[in-house]
Amino acid sequence: MKMRTGSALALAALLNAGLLLVAVDAAAQQGSSRRESADRFRRGDPGAVVAAQMALSRQAQEKGQWTAIAEAAADSAIMFAPGQVRAKDWLKRQANPAQPMRWQPHQVWASCDGTLAVSTGAWQRADGTAGSFTTVWQRQRRGAYKWLMDLTEQQDLPLAEPDMIGGSVAECQPTPGWRPPSRDRDRDIPPAGAPVCEGGTCSGASADGTLAYTYSTSATGGRALTVQLRQQGEMREVTRVSSRE
C-alpha cells in the first residue's frame, strides 16, 4: 500500500516525538534514581547499620570472631578490655576462639545526615553466657559503616528478642554553622564522630550534630554511656547504658 509523502512525514515526526518522550522520561527516571540514591546516602539509614551488624555476626562465624571484628573496625575505633584500648592494636594480638560470639541488633538510632549511628542488641557465647551491646557506627568516605566504639555488658538472663528491629532517624535540624556534605562525591564526606576525651569523659557527634554520645570510665573499670538524638527541636536522651567493672 502506498502512502502519501505528507502522511509519511507526519508519521515519522510522531514516531520521533514518541521516541524523544521515551528518552526524556528514561533520563528523568535515571536522574531521579540518582537523586534518591544521593539523598539516601546523605540521610540516616538504620537499615544499613542493621545490615552491617548482621554482616559482622556472619563474618565472625566464617573468619573468626576477632578477625571479623578487626576488619569491621574504623581506624580510630576503641573498645574496653577492660580498660579503654585502641581496638586494632588489641585485636591483632588475640587468637580467635573456637566458637565465636553471635550478635543480634534490636534498635538503631541514626543521625539525620547518616554520618553516625548507634545500635543496641544482644550477644551470646558458646558457653551459654549472654548479654547486651551498644555500638557506635561511623560512616566511612565511601559510604560503608564501620564500628567506632563498643560497650558490652553481661546479663543474668538473655535479652528477649523484639518482634522487629527498631529504627529512628534524628530530626533534620542541623547545628548552627553546619554545611551539608557534597551530594555527588562521597569521597568529600569525611568520617565523623570520633570521641574527644577530657578529664575522664569522652564525647563524639555526627557531622550535623543531630546524634551525640558521651561516655566515662571509673577507677574500678565501670563505664557509662549516654546517647542523645535530636527530636522535636532539641537533643533528647534515647538510651543510657552502664557497665559493671
Residue 240 burial class via C-beta count within 10 angstroms: exposed 0-12, middle 13-18, buried 19 and up: exposed
Q: What is the CATH number of the domain that holds 56?
A: 3.10.450.50
**29, 139: one domain:** no
Q: Same domain for 21 and 32?
A: yes
Query: Do 65 and 84 sit in the same domain of this protein?
Result: yes
pLDDT of residue 159: 87
pLDDT given for residue 245 in this prediction: 56
Phi, psi of 3 (to 5 degrees): -120, 135
Distance of CA 47 to the CA centre of its chain: 8
Examine the domain organization and report whether 77 and 138 are in the same domain. Answer: yes
Q: Which letter does DSSP use for residue 156 in this model?
A: S
The predicted pLDDT at position 133 comes to 94
- Sign of the CA dihedral running 124, 129, 132, 135: negative
Domain identity same for 50 and 69: yes
Tell me phi and psi for residue 184, to 5 degrees. Answer: -105, -20
Instruction: Check: CB of residue 190 under 8 Å from CB of residue 180.
Output: no
Place of cell 509519511: 8
For the residues of 23-80, what is the DSSP string, one character each?
A: HHHHHHHHHHHHHHHHHHHHS--HHHHHHHHHHHHHHHHHH-HHHHHHHTEEEEEEEE
User: Does any domain span residue 1?
Assistant: no
Residue 70 belongs to domain spanning: 44-243
Same domain, 29 and 114: no
pLDDT at 40: 44
Residue 238: which of 216, 210, 218, 217 has the closest Cα? 210
Residues 171 and 195 in one domain: yes
Q: Quick one: pLDDT at residue 223?
A: 87
Separation in Å, CA 28 to CA 33, 38, 183, 243: 8, 15, 18, 52
237 in a structural domain:
yes
Q: Select from 200, 198, 191, 236 the least CA-distant residue to 221.
A: 200
Q: What is the mean pLDDT of each run of 10 residues along the chain (245 residues)?
A: 47 43 42 42 85 95 96 94 90 95 95 95 93 95 92 87 93 66 46 82 91 87 90 94 74
Q: Identify whether 53 is part of a domain.
A: yes
Which residues lie closer than 8 Å to 69 by C-beta, 6 or more apart? Answer: 56, 60, 87, 91, 147
pLDDT of residue 63: 96
Residue 143 maps to a domain: yes
Which pLDDT belongs to residue 190? Answer: 52
Q: How many distinct structural domains can be found in the chain?
A: 2
Q: How confident is the model at residue 186, as a pLDDT? A: 45
Residue 29 φ then ψ, to 5°: -65, -40
DSSP secondary structure code for residue 188 in this structure: G
Give the pLDDT score at 174. Answer: 60
